[in-house]
Amino acid sequence: VFEFIIASNGATAGESSAFMSTMFTFGATLVLGLTLGCASGYLLGEALRSQWLPQFLLNTGVLTFMLGVYAASNFLVHESGLLTVTVMGIWLANMRGVPIDEILEFKESLSVLLISALFILLAARMELQAIYDLGAGAIWILAALIFIARPLAVNLASLGTDLSWQERSFLSWIAPRGIVAAAVSSLFAFRLEEIGIEEAAMLVPLVFLVIVITVALQSISATPLAKLLKVREPSSNGYLFLGANAVARDIAKAFQKLDVPVVLSDTSWENYRAARMEGLSVYYGNPASEHAENNLEMTGIGQFLAISPYKKLNAHVVYHFLDRFNAQHVFALSEGEMEQRASHQTPETFMQAASLFQDGLSYAKLASLYSKGARVTITRLTEEFSFDAYLKEHGANLTLLFSVAPSGAVYPAGGAESVAPKADWQMVSLVQKKAPVPAAEAGAKKDA
């Protein structure tokens, strides 16, 4: 549209020549963007896969390469750089074996910085009078964008997908955001004013008004609308377990009874099959793998527990989820007593995870208790049966695992967050059954 307006306002350009000029520009941009974008993405992917860049230059090198491709594309065909680098990014993201996690993290940080700076600069150049001068017509444009253009764009873009009407309706309300429009509005207005279109001065304040109103309106209404349409993701109070052994399965079944979402994962086929037979949600494989990233259902999951006998796997998966869930939501069993887990034996990242249950309780000790008859139990506290009474009743036979608040929040014993369980809290513990008193000994005591 912009190119058509520019072409149709040329000195000798008629409508036909303006249309042909626009189509030529569009075609050239499309061909160059796809060709150069795919080629650049392939070359960059091969460079990353072959580790041609040292690790400390990875982000800088990728950014420099992207800017170079953008400039080269713009030099060949005006304003084709954005399409070119977009195609390059899509190609790079879909190449197998390319390490892009660090690049994605850098991109997210860079996006926040640049988008924030963009809106600050745009607002700093804006005068309130320019917004007032837009008049009532701006309201009609705003309404058309929100209730016609956005729903139409979302529904056309989602054709052939399995999105429900509720999901499409929600997307129509909150997307798209208009970041690109904000970025280029000043440039468009400047070019339009150059060719004598006086109304171009209204473009920047109009775009600014649309973004401010839509962001404010949708930020306030997104949560209530998601609840109304029943598309809101449940709160992330659920747990992902590394380990589907007998102890982990019993804890998971206790969580199910308390309506706490839980997913098990294990690399052992026997444990996986046993969990499936017991009706538990379980993933077969390494939860830190690329396959898990694409196939492991994590809806409602916001905490991670390592309850596995495989120490190296524990450390690897803990390292992966420390970045995803933050340290206060990642828990791991102890590697043993303090002298058994010196810093040169235990990875530093593993020690960042909160110690699960009591200090010194390793998987070996937990499995030993279980083999001796200890079982996972759920006990509700009351005004008459307090937490202290609960501890006193079981004494040394009790290994406290989790405290579950009436709200559904789960607090692992030994975690960073200390709690004082009260009435209506439920305690999930491993309780050792008291050994029965032999009949002869009982008779002797009775005679005495």
Summarised one tens digit per residue, pLDDT across range 202-237 is: 888 888 888 888 888 888 998 899 989 988 877 778
Most distant CA pair in the chain, distance = 121
Is the pLDDT higher at 119 or at 29?
29
Residues 6+ apart with CB under 8 A from 289: none
Q: Are 339 and 366 in contact (CB under 8 A)?
A: no
Is it the case that residue 33 has pLDDT exceeding 90?
yes
Is it the case that residue 184 has pLDDT exceeding 90?
no
Whole-number pLDDT of residue 312? 86
Question: Could you read off the pLDDT of 38-76 as tens digits, one per residue?
Answer: 999 999 999 999 889 888 889 999 999 999 999 999 999
Helical H segments across 306-386, by residue range: 311-325, 348-352, 363-371
Distance between CA atoms of 127 and 130, rounded to whole angstroms?
Answer: 5
Q: Are 307 and 245 in contact (CB under 8 A)?
A: yes
Whole-number pLDDT of residue 353? 58
Q: Residue 268: left (phi > 0), alpha (psi -120 to 50), or beta?
A: beta
User: What are the boundaries of each domain within the chain?
Assistant: 1-124, 127-232, 238-431
Is the pLDDT higher at 409 or at 193?
409
Compute the average pLDDT of residues 319-348: 68
Crossing angle (nearest 10°) for helices 363-371 and 246-257: 80
Compute the average pLDDT of residues 178-182: 68
Is it the case that residue 354 has pLDDT exceeding 70?
no
Cα 195 to Cα 7, 191, 192, 391, distances in angstroms? 10, 7, 5, 82
Q: Is 104 helix (H, G, I), strand (E, B) or coil?
A: helix
Enumerate the β-bridge partners of residue 56: none
> pLDDT over 90 for what percent of the chain?
28
Compute the average pLDDT of residues 273-282: 94
Ramachandran angles phi, psi of 237, nearest 5°: -100, 5
Distance between CA atoms of 170 and 218, rounded to whole angstroms?
Answer: 10
- Residue 11 banded pLDDT, cuts 50, 70, 90: very low
Whole-number pLDDT of residue 435? 57
Residue 305: CB atoms within 10 A of its CB come to 28
Side-by-side strand order, sheet with 354-355: 282-284, 262-266, 238-242, 301-306, 330-332, 354-355
Whole-number pLDDT of residue 76? 93
Compute the average pLDDT of residues 269-277: 94
Tally of CA atoms within 13 A in the half-sphere of 434 that contains its CB: 7
Whole-number pLDDT of residue 355? 65
- Residue 330 banded pLDDT, cuts 50, 70, 90: confident
Whole-number pLDDT of residue 216? 85
Closest CA to 81 of 67, 66, 70, 91: 70
Here the tokens at position 207 are: 């775009």
Side-by-side strand order, sheet with 398-404: 375-380, 426-431, 398-404, 410-412
Distance between CA atoms of 291 and 285, rounded to whole angstroms?
Answer: 9
Q: For the ranges 89-93, 215-219, 394-398, 418-422, which has the lowest average pLDDT?
A: 418-422
Is the pLDDT higher at 29 or at 121?
29
Enumerate the β-bridge partners of residue 411: 403
Question: Could you read off the pLDDT of 86-136 as tens digits, one per residue?
Answer: 999 999 999 988 888 888 889 888 888 888 887 788 778 788 888 888 888
Compute the average pLDDT of residues 137-148: 89
Here the tokens at position 274 are: 């046993």
Crossing angle (nearest 10°) for helices 203-229 and 101-124: 130
Whole-number pLDDT of residue 358? 66
Q: Are 25 and 76 in contact (CB under 8 A)?
A: no
Average pLDDT of every residue of the chain:
83
Is it the case that residue 343 has pLDDT exceeding 70?
no
Q: Is 357 helix (H, G, I), strand (E, B) or coil?
A: coil
Distance between CA atoms of 10 and 278, rounded to whole angstroms?
Answer: 74
Is it the case that residue 84 has pLDDT exceeding 90?
yes
Whole-number pLDDT of residue 116? 83
pTM over 0.75: no
Tell me which residue has tokens 């014993």. 413
DSSP 232-294: PPPPS-EEEEE--SHHHHHHHHHHHHTT--EEEEES-HHHHHHHHHTT--EEES-TTSHHHHH
Compute the average pLDDT of residues 272-289: 93
Cα 124 to Cα 118, 135, 212, 242, distances in angstroms? 10, 21, 14, 50
Is it the case that residue 402 has pLDDT exceeding 80?
yes
| CATH homologous superfamily for the domain 238-431 | NAD(P)-binding Rossmann-like Domain (3.40.50.720)
Q: For the ranges 1-10, 173-182, 393-402, which has the lowest average pLDDT?
A: 1-10
Is it the case that residue 445 has pLDDT exceeding 70?
no
Whole-number pLDDT of residue 434? 65
Q: Are 267 and 292 in contact (CB under 8 A)?
A: no
Closest CA to 262 of 119, 428, 383: 428
